Amino acid sequence: MHKSSYLNMSRFITEYLDPSQTLRIVDLGSQAIAEHDSYKSLCASPKWTYIGCDIVDGNNVDVVLTNAYNWKELAAASVDVVISGQAFEHIEFPWVTMSEISRVLKDGGLCCIIAPSNGVYHGYPVDCWRYYEDGMRALAKYVDMEVLEVQTQRSSLDFADYDKVWQDTVLICRKPEQRSLAGKFSAHARQSMNRYLVKSITWEAGQTALRRKYKLKYLQYKLLLLCPFVFGRLRIKFTDKKNKYKALLKSVRLTE
């Protein structure tokens, strides 16, 4: 984590969070690759509970999310603040992640996302996106969050860790205090649709990779998929006929 990212998150926490309030703070993408790669020290207020979340276990990870787009480990409306730095460029479907952030946030909850607008490829394990202000606004708009602040670093701060390479964009947004019934239904429908689409996309991608690995043509692959179903049906029919035959023999013996 470069120094400018740490300072941006520090400013958010100082200006927007009250140390006298009891807060649950989730840090998305919290795994610390190096010792300084964490915002945990910024969330050290006695009344705050810091929860580091990531899709893999490791240093500074309290909760491992078994599904990157369906956080069963975190209940709805259970979190006051979600923070994330240097993670959103590695998320393939960030709008689905925003839906999950909206789901776990309480009404009026705050979110701060920091992601680069520039920089070299760095896959952990993938590197998909760069964000400007409009992109961050679009993510917030997708989940009906109020944008409080969004800005992109345009010039170098002359830190030794090459902050000018990344030129981070910072989004600070808030979940509405209250939603209408129609708004809640819309959010739930959006979350369900997102999960279904991601599941279908990743399933199809997996099947395509399997076909390529074994050099199967499309028709061969479909026939291979049908085999368990066909043989299963034949086995059921054979078992039914076998049972009927046994019952018939039993009845014949009883009549004799």
Q: Do 78 and 134 have their domain in common? A: yes
Q: What is the pLDDT of residues 145-200, one digit of tens each?
A: 999 999 999 877 767 666 678 899 999 999 998 777 767 777 777 777 777 776 76
Q: Do 175 and 201 have their domain in common? A: no
Range of the domain at 224: 189-255
Looking at residue 202, its pLDDT comes to 64
Q: Do 85 and 30 have their domain in common? A: yes
Domain count, the chain: 2
Q: Do 99 and 206 have their domain in common? A: no
Q: Do 199 and 145 have their domain in common? A: no
pLDDT in tens, the chain (256 residues): 788 899 999 999 999 999 999 999 999 999 988 766 799 999 999 999 999 999 999 999 999 999 888 899 999 999 999 999 999 999 999 999 999 999 999 999 999 999 999 988 988 889 999 999 999 999 999 999 999 999 999 877 767 666 678 899 999 999 998 777 767 777 777 777 777 776 766 655 555 555 566 555 555 555 555 555 555 555 555 566 566 656 665 665 555 5
Q: Do 62 and 146 have their domain in common? A: yes
Q: Which residues contact 55 (CB under 8 A, 6 or more apart)?
A: 64, 65, 68
Looking at residue 107, its pLDDT comes to 95
Task: Please give the structure tokens belonging to residue 94.
Answer: 């960030």
Looking at residue 41, its pLDDT comes to 93
Looking at residue 194, its pLDDT comes to 72
**Where a domain ends, among 180, 202, 237?**
180
**For the residues of 158-211, what is the DSSP string, one character each?**
--TT-HHHH-EEEEEEE--S---HHHHHHHHHHHHHHHHHHHHHHHHHHHHHHH
Task: Please give the structure tokens belonging to residue 164.
Answer: 């000018």
Q: Which residues contact 68 (CB under 8 A, 6 or more apart)?
A: 55, 91, 97
Q: Do 217 and 145 have their domain in common? A: no
Q: Do 99 and 155 have their domain in common? A: yes
Q: What is the pTM of this model?
A: 0.75
d(CA 88, CA 27): 12
Q: Do 126 and 203 have their domain in common? A: no
**Where a domain ends, among 140, 159, 180?**
180
Name the amino acid, one letter, at 254: L
Q: Do 204 and 87 have their domain in common? A: no
